[in-house]
Amino acid sequence: MRVRAIRGATQLDEDDRDHMLERVAEMVTDVLEANELEVDDFISIIFTATSDLVSEFPAYAARLLGFHDVPLICARELEIEGSMPRVVRMLAHVETHLSRAEVTHVYLHGAAHLRRDLNRVLEVPDAAAPADPA
């Protein structure tokens, strides 16, 4: 087994508690599935959120998924002019058989545009808005 770091990010449509829990759960679940992991494989997870997200701690979504004895912490993302709003990021440390090149990082919704430089990325962009029929 090796220790690896796995990145993830998701963008919320609005700062709403239920929406936060849904999007963070989706991100954590996609990291689990894309890397063939179980909760017991996680050593720790660091979550960051942009300053416009205040409705809930992102780590609470992981607790609801069963991450009861995994150390989790939340922090504030740096406020950089022009940076993407309403983003939750995660950095998970895991034990895995995967090599660094085989690890799949997960970027969802608007955050799918953040890291196109990584080797293996699961990108789930938001669906395109329907065309105006007029």
Predicted pLDDT of residue 111 = 84
Predicted pLDDT of residue 119 = 47
Say if strands 42-49 and 87-96 run parallel, antiparallel, or are unpaired: antiparallel
Q: Tens digits of per-residue pLDDT, 21-67?
A: 999 999 999 999 999 999 999 999 999 999 999 999 999 999 999 99
User: What CATH superfamily classification does 2-124 receive?
Assistant: RutC-like (3.30.1330.40)
Predicted pLDDT of residue 126 = 65
Q: What residue ranges do the domains of the chain occupy?
A: 2-124
In this predicted model, which residue has the larger pLDDT, 110 or 4? 4
Say what the pTM is: 0.86
Q: Tens digits of per-residue pLDDT, 78-122?
A: 999 989 999 999 999 999 999 999 999 999 988 877 766 654 555
In this predicted model, which residue has the larger pLDDT, 35 or 133? 35
Q: Which residues contact residue 3 at a Cβ distance below 8 angstroms, ignoring those fewer than 6 apart? A: 43, 93, 94, 95
- Which residue shows structure tokens 């196109």? 116
